[in-house]
Amino acid sequence: MMTERPRRNRKSAAVRNMIRETGLSVSKLIFPVFLVDGKNQQIPIASMPGIHRWSLDLLLKEIEECMKLGVQTFDLFPAVDESLKDKEATYSYHPDNFYLKAIREIKKEFPESCLMSDVALDPYSSDGHDGYVENGKILNDKTLPILAKMSLAQAEAGIDIIGPSDMMDGRVGYIREELDEAGFTETSIMSYTAKYASAFYGPFRDALDSAPKFGDKKTYQMDPANKREALREAELDTLEGADFLMVKPALCYLDVIHMLKEKSALPIAAYNVSGEYAMLKAAAEKNWIQYERAMPEMLLSIHRAGADIILTYFAKEFAQMRANGSI
C-alpha cells in the first residue's frame, strides 16, 4: 500500500495553482531595446524576429505600449554610425549623442519608467572591443576613465541604472566613485558580474554592428567552463558598490545564477540573450516547438534558478500573454 502519492497534489488546476512554488510577474522583466538616430525608423533585425531598431519618435510609442502592459524597465542600446566611432569612444559622452538625448526625452515623457544603460566601449569603438585597444591588447586601466565619463554623461541625462557590460577589472568601483563625487549617489549600478565569452551573442552584434574588428573577447569575458570564478567577480563587484549582480547568458548558466542567489544578499539579474531568443523563435517558426508554452517555461526556469530580474526580448510578448490570460 502506498502512503505517499505526489500526484494527489497535481490532480486539478486549483490544487496545482495553490501549491505552485514559483510565479513570474511582469514587474520582474527588463525589456532591452535598440535605438538608432533619425526619425520614423523601425528597422527589423533579421536574426531576431519581432525585434527592431527604433528611432526615438517610434520608440516612445513602443515604450508607451509596453508600460500599459506593465513593463516599466527598459535597457537602451545604441546602434551608432561607423563615422562616429573612434578608439576612445568619445561619442559616448558627447553632448550631441542621440542616445543621451533619447534618455532625456524618454524620462520627460515617462518619468515613471526605469531606464537602464549600457556602459562599454564596443558600440562607440572603431575597434569593436569593450575596452581601449593598443597594439592589439585591451588595456584595462586605460579603459576605466572612459567608462566613467560615459556613465556620468548617462547619469546626467537621467538614467536610473548604469549597466557596465565591459568586464574590465575595477570598473564598478571606479564608476561608483565618479558618480558619487558628482552627486549621483542615487544612480544604481547593475554590474554584468559573470558575463561569459558566449556563442549566444551573435544576433545582438548584428543589431548593433558591434562585432570586434579583430580577435575575440576571451581576455575579459569569462570562460564558459568556469563557475567558481563568478563568486570572485561577485564579491569584488559587491565590495565596489554594485546594487545588482548579473549573469549573462541565462540558459546555459542556470547553475551560476543559482549559486550567486545562494551566496549573495544582492538582487540577481540574468540576461536572456539574443541567441537564446533567436533559437526559440526559429524552432517555433518551423513548428518544432509550441512557442506559447515554451517561452514562458524558459523565463520561469530562469526565475526558478534564482534570477530576481530577467532582461529578455520576450518581455513585451510575455506581458501581452499575461494580459490576455493565456498564461
**What's the pLDDT tens digit per position in 93-137?**
999 999 999 999 999 999 999 999 999 999 999 998 999 999 999
From residue 104, give the alpha-carbon distance in Å to each of 95, 165, 178, 228: 12, 22, 20, 40
The catalytic residue among 248, 261, 281, 316 is: 248
Q: Quick one: pLDDT at residue 3?
A: 87
C-alpha cell at 133: 585597444
Q: Quick one: pLDDT at residue 50?
A: 95
Q: Quick one: pLDDT at residue 1?
A: 87
Q: Quick one: pLDDT at residue 309?
A: 98
- Give the C-alpha separation, 302 to 28, whole Å: 11
**DSSP 8-class letter at 47:** T
**DSSP 8-class letter at 223:** P
Task: Quickly name the fold that domain 22-323 has.
Answer: TIM Barrel (3.20.20)
User: Is 229 within 8 Å of 282 (Cβ atoms)?
Assistant: no
Q: Is there a cis peptide before residue 249, judged by omega within 30 degrees of 0? A: yes
The catalytic residue among 28, 195, 261, 316 is: 195
Is position 195 annotated as part of the catalytic site? yes
Beta bridge partners of 192: 246
Is position 68 annotated as part of the catalytic site? no
Intervals of the chain under pLDDT 70? 208-210
Would you kindly state where each structural domain of the chain is located, as residue ranges? 22-323
Contacts of 169 (CB under 8 A, 6+ apart): 140, 236
